[in-house]
């Protein structure tokens, strides 16, 4: 790509980001079977590229050093057969999110402070590739506040040590905005989030579940330091 054609303005950079993102999302969703077959572990270091025309490509990294653009994660194909397919796709998605940001800020390095903040705001309003691939919307962390009533949102620590919130919603006084959780699906029944139901998040795979689907009550959850959903518990048992 000719350096003169690089996007210069916030709008141009965001459009480039969106088109590249659309390309990799297609690879990891609609074209996932083709993408999976192209990531042969017997081949050399392969990368997933998203292009400004919304196409995608699995290819070897650029030969020149340093490359014209930041490189995606190398060797995504090596782990393909050693992981659960869904977990592998999720891992590729996380690394792809990182790459998309690095490309956007490569183009945005010459922007002023306010334009960089505006670019980040535009990008942050989009679901991440990881959220799209795992079919869920990230639930924002909340600080638990015990008001002395039965209604509260409590937090517990995830495996990486960060606070992670479990929505425990008993009355209208502390109900979360339905729009914030509307795209969250139960990992068991695939049902949509509902503000009047108790949900619990797995600290291993980070999927969310209706308490009733995994037979966890709010009272029982209070005594769980690290929750493992049924699939993660079974996976560990087979190892």
Q: What are the tens digits of pLDDT across the range 92-131?
A: 999 999 999 999 999 998 899 999 999 999 999 989 999 9
pTM for this prediction: 0.56
How is residue 221 written in tokens?
Answer: 């959850």
Calpha distance 59→44 (Å, rounded): 9
Percent of the chain with pLDDT over 90: 45
Residue 149 has pLDDT above 90, yes or no: no
Q: Taking the CA atoms of the chain, what radius of gyration do you get in angstroms? A: 21
* Local confidence band at 236 (pLDDT 50, 70, 90 cut-offs): low
Q: If you average pLDDT over residues 23-41, what whole number do you get? A: 94
Q: Which of 196, 199, 198, 194 is nearest to 180 (CA)?
A: 194
pLDDT of the residue at 95: 95
Calpha distance 91→155 (Å, rounded): 25
Range among 17-21, 66-70, 139-143, 193-197 with highest mean pLDDT value: 17-21
């Amino acid at each position: 790509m000719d350096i003169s054609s690089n996007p210069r303005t916030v709008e141009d950079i965001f459009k480039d980001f969106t088109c590249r993102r659309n390309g990799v999302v297609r690879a990891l969703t609609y074209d996932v079977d083709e993408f999976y077959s192209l990531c042969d572990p017997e081949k050399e270091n392969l990368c997933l590229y998203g292009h400004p025309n919304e196409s995608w490509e699995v290819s070897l990294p650029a030969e020149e050093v340093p490359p014209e653009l930041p490189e995606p994660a190398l060797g995504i194909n090596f782990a393909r057969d050693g992981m659960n397919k869904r977990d592998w796709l999720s891992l590729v998605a996380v690394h792809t999110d990182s790459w998309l940001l690095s490309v956007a800020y490569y183009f945005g390095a010459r922007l002023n402070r306010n334009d960089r903040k505006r670019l980040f705001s535009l990008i942050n309003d989009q679901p991440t590739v990881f959220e799209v691939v795992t079919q869920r919307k990230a639930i924002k962390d909340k600080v638990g506040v015990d008001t002395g009533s039965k209604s509260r949102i409590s937090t517990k620590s995830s495996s990486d040590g960060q606070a992670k919130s479990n929505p425990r919603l008993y009355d209208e006084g502390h109900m979360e905005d339905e729009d914030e959780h509307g795209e969250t699906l139960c990992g068991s029944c695939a049902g949509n989030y509902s503000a009047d139901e108790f949900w619990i998040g797995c600290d291993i795979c980070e999927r969310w579940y209706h308490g009733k689907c995994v037979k966890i009550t709010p009272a029982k959850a209070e005594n769980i330091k690290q929750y493992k959903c049924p699939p993660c518990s079974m996976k560990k048992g087979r190892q």
